[in-house]
Structure 1
Amino acid sequence: MKAILVMMLTITTILVGCTTFDNSTSEREQILDELDPTRNTPEPTDDELSSKLGYVRYTKDQLDNEMENGEQQLTIDRNEMADMITKIILRNDGFEEVATLVTDKEVLIAYQRNEELSAEEAADVSEKTAASIMPSFFNIHVSDNETLMQDIQSLHRSTSENRNYDNTIHAIIKEMEKTSKENRNIKDAVE
């Protein structure tokens, strides 16, 4: 009887051990879900919704009253801005992959380009795209250093309230400036 009990406990332990979930896969799926820019985008119910013009009209008093009552807070959806910048850049020929991070002060864009697109043209397209979307007080940094895409991705869970990422941001910017300077030196040498 004891042998059967020990054998049943052993089998139960083995079965329980084998049914443990692979958390690394689950975590990867969660990260991929968080990186999906369309995860919070509601599906339009009407095709006309996306073709409608945007219009609002306020008086100064209405805006002041809303601000005093805490009803209206001016915000920028950084994820939406990063999504828009990335998609617009990718619509240009020559770009294979683009990673964009928007903080409260900076826009960091790293991309992979093909040989059809020169380094200068790629940098110009990326900078102008971000500048056309973001308010002018944002500093825009671009690079074709593909390894920086992973560095940018590592910050996707950060918040502007927790400034623990400042050193990482500054290191990425420094590397982007170094890459940009190298590209300019190559261009000057060719000319």
Structure 2
Amino acid sequence: MIKKWIFLFSLLTAVILAGCGGTDNAADDERQQAEERDQIVEELDPEQETTPSNPSGDDKLGYVRYTKEQIDNEGENEHSVTIDRTSLANMITRIILRNDGFAEAATLVADDKTLIAYDKEDELDSDQAADIANKTAVSILPGYFDVYVSDDETLIQDIQSLHNSNIQDNEYDNTIDQIIDRMQQSPQGTEE
């Protein structure tokens, strides 16, 4: 009789474990599918700067894909586009300095204005230098930016003095306007 109870208890335990195992497998499958879906969404997230397989991101193509449902939600309606002004200024300055004839350059990217002051070598024509600086900035910045350039190297310090300013500050606007007035006395490059 005891063997019969042990046999029934073992059989019942095996049935329960087999049933739970099936439920766990289904739950595991759903969990794995959800993780794969999340991984794909993360890989396609434009706010994600790099992937573990390519930390620098230099070799990756830029690509995103969304469905209408992903865009039509409250969180997306509150999404705003931001510009990293420091990264833009860094990129512009580095590209300018890769051209022959430039010894030093400083770039300030403000709300809708970009100021570039540089020290050029004597061999480089002033108009050509202005053209290089202007075209470099225009090729990198969104189209609504006004670009001002100058080979007056004293303006480098003036631009540097604004690097910690806030675009909401009224005093900042006055200083920018004064620097722009001085910059416009220098060649500005050709506009096409």
Pairwise TM-score range, normalised by the shorter structure: 0.5 to 0.7
Match of 1:141 in 2: 148
**1:148-182: per-residue Cα shift (whole Å, max 9, x none)?**
0000000000011323211110000000001238x
Q: Relative to structure 1, is the Cα distance of residues 49 and 118 closer, same or farther in structure 2, using a 3 angstrom cutoff?
A: same
* SS of residue matched to 1:179: coil
Match of 1:50 in 2: 58
Q: Does 2:88 correspond to 1:63?
A: no
Residue 61 of structure 1: how far off its partner (Å): 5.2
**1:65-91: per-residue Cα shift (whole Å, max 9, x none)?**
3432x3x32000000000000001011
**What stretches of structure 1 of length at least 5 have no aligned partner?**
1-41, 185-191
* SS of residue matched to 1:178: coil
**Structure 1 length normalisation: TM-score?**
0.66
Q: Relative to structure 1, is the Cα distance of residues 45 and 163 closer, same or farther in structure 2, using a 3 angstrom cutoff?
A: farther
Match of 1:17 in 2: none
Q: Relative to structure 1, is the Cα distance of residues 152 and 57 closer, same or farther in structure 2, using a 3 angstrom cutoff?
A: same
| 2: CA distance, partners of 1:147 / 1:79 | 21
* SS of residue matched to 1:170: helix
Q: Does 2:184 correspond to 1:177?
A: yes
Question: 2:103–2:119: 8 Å Cα contact kept in structure 1?
Answer: yes
| 2: CA distance, partners of 1:146 / 1:48 | 34
| 2: CA distance, partners of 1:89 / 1:64 | 41
Q: Relative to structure 1, is the Cα distance of residues 137 and 64 closer, same or farther in structure 2, using a 3 angstrom cutoff?
A: farther
1:70-89 mapped onto 2 (5 Å cutoff):
70=78, 72-89=79-96
Pairwise CA RMSD of aligned residues?
2.6
**What stretches of structure 2 of length at least 5 have no aligned partner?**
1-49
* SS of residue matched to 1:54: coil
| 1: CA distance, partners of 2:71 / 2:118 | 40
From the CA coordinates, give the structure whose radius of gyration is larger: 2
Residue 117 of structure 1: how far off its partner (Å): 1.1
Q: Relative to structure 1, is the Cα distance of residues 62 and 177 closer, same or farther in structure 2, using a 3 angstrom cutoff?
A: same
**1:99-143: per-residue Cα shift (whole Å, max 9, x none)?**
000000100000000022110111001110000010111000000
| Structure richer in helix, relative to its length | 1
Question: 2:167–2:173: 8 Å Cα contact kept in structure 1?
Answer: no
Match of 1:11 in 2: none
* SS of residue matched to 1:51: coil
Aligned residues: 140
**1:40-75: per-residue Cα shift (whole Å, max 9, x none)?**
xx9x9846732111111234553353432x3x3200
Q: Relative to structure 1, is the Cα distance of residues 112 and 57 closer, same or farther in structure 2, using a 3 angstrom cutoff?
A: same
